[in-house]
Amino acid sequence: MRLEVTSESDRKRAAEFLSKEFGKLDILINNAGIGVLDNKTSEVTDEVLQNTFATNVFAVVALTRELLPLLRKSAAGRIVNLSSILGSLALHADPKSPIAGSKSFAYNASKTALNAFTIHLAAELKDTKIKVNSAHPGWVKTDMGTDAAPMEIPEGGRTGVELALLGKDGPTGGFFHLGKTLPW
C-alpha cells in the first residue's frame, strides 16, 4: 500500500484498509522523517522549516489521529515515534554533551516537537492500554545517516522494536535509546 505520510488521502486510505482487513491496529511506528542540514540557525528558510515540520511533526500527528480509533480497539496498542537524540533540549543546552555541536535547527526543532507530542499523547491516553514513547534509533547507516554512521540498520531498529513490544507494565511517555532513558 502506498502511504505518503504528508498526503491526507493516503492516510485515510491506509486507515480504511487496516480497518477493513484487520479491524484494529496493534502497533504504529511513526518512522517517516526528513532532515535538511541548515548549519546557520539565523538563515534557515521558511521552506526548509515548513517542509521539515510537515513530514516530521504534522504528518505524524495527522496519521496518529487517523489511526487512533483502530489502536483503541487493540488489546495493547503501542505508538512509537522515531525521534532523535538531536531533539533533546537538555542535551543541546549542555555545552559538554555529545550533541552540543550538532545544531541543525529545522530538524532538531521538529524532533523536539515530536517529543512534546509523545508526552502530551501519552498523558491523554494514560488510562488506556495504549503506550506512547519516543525512540532514538542511533546514528544509523541510512540515506540520511550516511555510510559514516557507526550503526547498521538492524541495530538501529532495536529500540523501536523493544518499545513496540512493551508489556502491560512497560513505560509510557518516555524517550529511549537501547534500553536507556534519554533526557527531554
| pLDDT score for 36 | 77
Q: Which of 28, 93, 84, 14 has its CA nearest to residue 56?
A: 84
Residue from 12, 24, 96, 107 carrying the catalytic annotation? 107
- Per domain, the residue ranges of the chain are 8-181
Average pLDDT over residues 33-43: 83
Report pTM: 0.93
Backbone angles phi, psi at 22, to 5 degrees: -125, -25
The stretch 48-56 carries a mean pLDDT of 96
pLDDT at residue number 139: 64
User: Would you say 11 and 62 are in contact if contact means Cβ atoms under 8 Å apart?
Assistant: yes
Q: What is the pLDDT of residues 107-119, one digit of tens each?
A: 999 999 999 999 9
Q: Which long-range contacts (CB under 8 A, 24 or more apart) does 9-18 make?
A: 11/59, 11/62, 11/63, 11/66, 12/66, 14/63, 14/66, 14/67, 15/66, 15/67, 15/69, 15/70, 18/67, 18/70
Residues 163-175, mean pLDDT to the nearest whole number: 97
DSSP tag of 6: T
pLDDT at residue 73, as a whole number: 98
Residue 12 annotated in active site: no
Predicted local confidence at residue 119, as pLDDT: 98
Name the residue type at position 66: E
Is 107 a residue of the active site?
yes
Given the residues 24, 96, 103, 111, select the one marked as catalytic: 111
pLDDT at residue 178 is higher than 70: yes
pLDDT digits (tens, 9 = 90+) for 117-159: 999 999 999 999 999 999 998 765 666 666 765 656 667 778 9
Q: What is the pLDDT of residues 68-102, one digit of tens each?
A: 999 999 999 999 999 999 999 999 999 999 989 88
Region 104-108 average pLDDT: 94
CATH code: domain 8-181 is 3.40.50.720
